[in-house]
Amino acid sequence: MTDTLTRDAIAQKIKRLEYRNLAFIDGQFVPARSGKTFPTLNPATGEVLTEVAACGSEDVDLAVQAARRAFNAGVWSGLAPAERKAIMKRFADLIDEHRLELAILESLEAGKPIGECFNVDIPDTANTIRWNAETADKLYDAVAPTAPDVVATVRREPLGVVGAVLPWNFPAMMVGWKLGPALVTGNCVVVKPAQLTSLSTLRIAELGHKAGIPAGVLNVVPGLGSTAGQAIGMHPDVDLIAFTGSTAVGRRFLEYSAATNLKRVALELGGKNPQVVMPDVSDLKTVASNVLASAFWNMGENCSAGSRLVVHRSIKDALLDEMLVQLEADWKTGDPLDPELRLGALIQKDHMDKVLGFIDRAKAAGLTLLTGGERILEETGGYFVAPTIFDEVPRDAEIAREEIFGPVLAVIPFDTEEEAIAIANDTCYGLAASLWSDDISTVHRMSKAIRAGTVSVNCFSEGDITTPFGGYKQSGFGGRDKSVYAHEHYTELKTTWIKLA
Ligand code: TAP
């Protein structure tokens, strides 16, 4: 890895930046059949970066056909696992080698702080591909415990063609989370990135091809959800939809499946995640810094953002005081390309207006605004919102219930452990939760009682690549991302029952 993150290195790289803005189908960059394009913007300035091919159902069909041809030909699924492993490891190496370029694309298009893109998002993407690659020749299938006159094998086989439809908040990471398990298990993939963030995904696909992934195995169709996204969802020759995005759109994919070929559907959806702080915690400084990071990392545009602080009344004010001091010192908002800053722009004007709408209604309802609560840096033309904290939020308030997907934290006090658990679970979501306590019994009791796919104790985290990630209730459906558990929904179980003579 040769890239370093300095202002000079960023400026030099931007001068030489070339956007991949066509669809990537069957190993080639091609325009949309219709010739249509859509603009992609820098949300920190409001300026157009480039025009991207707007794929429609015709392009999706071409991509699915290419993927099916590649699958049937066995150019990928037919390789020895060790060969797939070698190609995927080269793919991961190329992502590492292009770390700064990919981080800049992520930052420019999504408004994300470059430091996070460079130090977290792109390394995580490479690591996910590499870790999955390593599993290729290490996982075994099974032989069933049948009677002696039978041999029955239970094997995992690839599904065929996977459609991956993705969100804009972690464009590269989400591609990695889908491609890693989909490719290592032998599938061919058609990716539709969010229309707001196609550029890093297109470059990643090109790097995959350069690494040796055969034509047709990895295709990218940029476009709108209502056209390209729907076309993938409705396509009769797609075997699985691997979707990350909102619960509302996730539901649509279940409808598409039901209306067409009963394709498998795996959904990673929204969250309204609690951070529960018990009164026995001794280190409020550490709790404060983690609570802030959980709420505001990636400007709160994070499915697992801890957007509800459920804190014992006896320590609430002390914790909030510490949080306000740290917020002022450590959480500066500004140019996403400044490596010193931790907060960038929200993804687009419509989304910023939505976030400000939640804030305005909370103010109008008389909730106590502790800090933030407004658009800032408007003179830049970018979509910046100050990190915002509301205190004493009733659990039925809109900002305590809805996923805002912005830098807004609702503080909800409690008096008893039972009340804390009830508040934590009082949501239609169940993606992630944090629990803070110095008492081991409290930790065991409460982490069991909280209904969420991941409960992080005395930290905030989505785990790492070794642990499954996904949601209870309306946060997820049909499988988990990450770890070997992710392989399950990318494969079918094949029983071969052999009667011996
Ligand atoms: P969505 O609006 O749901 O969009 C996700 C993807 O679906 C985009 O590619 C979108 O295309 C496409 N889409 C939109 N409408 C569609 C339709 N009618 N048919 C088919 N496809 C359609 O989500 P978002 O705003 O990009 O991302 C934010 C959401 O993602 C939040 O709820 C967040 O919690 C969730 N999220 C969850 C996770 C995990 S791991 N659980 C991780 C990240 C984000 P367009 O770009 O054209 O709209």
Domain check: are 215 and 292 in the same one? no
pTM value is 0.97
Residue 3 lies in a domain: no
Q: How confident is the model at residue 71 (pLDDT cuts 50, 70, 90)?
A: very high
Q: How confident is the model at residue 218 (pLDDT cuts 50, 70, 90)?
A: very high
Which residue CA neighbors atom 39 of ligand 1 most closely?
A: 268
pLDDT at 290 over 80: yes
Structural domain harbouring 442: 274-471
Q: Which of 106, 268, 322, 403 is catalytic?
A: 268
> What does DSSP assign to residue 484?
G
Neighbouring CB atoms inside 10 A of 170's CB total 26
List the residue whose alpha carbon is closest to atom 40 of ligand 1: 268
pLDDT higher than threshold 90 for residue 186? yes
**Mean pLDDT computed over 340-354:** 98
Q: Which atom of ligand 1 is nearest to the CA of 250?
A: 3
CB 289 within 8 A of CB 439: no
For ligand 1, say whether the CB of 252 is within 6 Å of any of its atoms: yes
- The residue-averaged pLDDT of 222-248 equals 98
Find the CATH number of the domain harbouring 102.
3.40.605.10
Query: Is residue 6 situated within a structural domain?
Result: no
Do 206 and 300 belong to one domain? no
**Is 425 inside any structural domain?**
yes
Share of the chain above pLDDT 90, in %: 99
- The rounded distance, in Å, linking the Cα atoms of 64 and 219 is 8
Interval 437-477: pLDDT, tens = 999 999 999 999 999 999 999 999 889 999 999 999 999 99
Q: What percent of the chain has a predicted confidence (pLDDT) above 70?
A: 100
Same-domain pairing of 163 and 30: yes
Six-digit token pair at 212? Answer: 């040796």
Does the CB atom of residue 404 touch ligand 1 within 6 A?
A: no
pLDDT at 462: 84
Asked if residue 403 has its Cβ within 6 Å of ligand 1, the reply is yes
What pLDDT does 148 receive?
97
Instruction: Flag whether 2 is in a domain.
Output: no
In terms of residues, how long is the chain? 501
- 233, 287: one domain: no
Ligand 1 atom nearest to 351, measured from its CA: 25
- Output the CA 197–ligand 1 centroid distance in Å: 11
Mean pLDDT of 127-156: 98
Q: What confidence score (pLDDT) does residue 298 get?
A: 98
CATH number, domain of 280, equals 3.40.309.10
Say whether both 121 and 186 belong to one domain: yes
Q: For residues 29 and 219, what is the distance between their CA atoms, to the nearest angstrom? A: 10
Q: Same structural domain for residues 370 and 223?
A: no
468 ligand 1 Cβ < 6 A = no
Task: Specify if 8 maps to a domain.
Answer: no
401: burial class by Cβ within 10 Å (0-12, 13-18, 19+)?
middle
501 is a domain residue: no
Distance of alpha carbon 326 from alpha carbon 252, whole angstroms: 41
The answer on 193 and 114 residing in a single domain is: yes
Annotated catalytic residue 340 = no
Answer yes or no: is the C-beta of 223 below 6 A from any ligand 1 atom. no
Query: Is residue 3 very low, low, confident or very high in pLDDT (cuts 50, 70, 90)?
Result: confident
The pLDDT score that the predictor gives to residue 189 is 99
Indicate the number of domains in the chain: 2
| 424/213 Cα distance (integer angstroms) | 44
User: Tell me, what DSSP letter sits at residue 454?
Assistant: E
List, in sequence order, every residue forming a beta bridge with 499; answer none if it has no partner.
150
The verdict on the CB of residue 249 being under 6 Å from ligand 1 is: yes
Rounded CA separation 11/8 (Å): 5
Q: Does ligand 1 lie within 6 Å of residue 225's CB atom?
A: yes
In the numeric block, the tokens 């800032």 are attached to 376
Q: Are residues 232 and 286 in the same domain?
A: no
* Backbone torsions φ then ψ of 479, nearest 5 degrees: 145, 175
In this prediction, residues 312-330 reach a mean pLDDT of 98
Same-domain status, 234 and 311 = no
Is the Cβ–Cβ distance between 409 and 385 less than 8 Å?
no
- In sequence order, the β-bridge partners of residue 408 are 388
Query: Do 442 and 363 share a structural domain?
Result: yes
Do 250 and 382 belong to one domain? Answer: no
pLDDT score at 461 = 87
User: Does 458 fall in a domain?
Assistant: yes
Does the residue 1 lie in any domain? Answer: no
Q: Which atom of ligand 1 is nearest to the CA of 177?
A: 40
Tell which residue, 44, 13, 113, 336, has the closest CA to residue 4. 13
Distance between the two ends of the chain, CA-based, in angstroms? 58
Average pLDDT over all residues of the chain: 98
Q: What is residue 2's predicted lDDT score, i.e. its pLDDT?
A: 59
User: Do 248 and 292 fall into the same domain?
Assistant: no
At 358, list the tokens.
């939640």
Mean pLDDT of 36-58: 98
User: Is the confidence at residue 57, as pLDDT, over 70?
Assistant: yes
Say whether pLDDT at 335 is over 90. yes
Q: What is the mean pLDDT of residues 201-217?
A: 98
What is residue 23's predicted lDDT score, i.e. its pLDDT? 99
Shortest-distance atom of ligand 1 to CA 168 = 26
Give residue 341's pLDDT. Answer: 97
* pLDDT of 1 above 60: no
For ligand 1, the distance from its centroid to the CA atom of residue 347, given in whole angstroms, is 13
Neighbouring-strand partners of residue 409: 389
Distance CA 466, CA 483 (A): 5
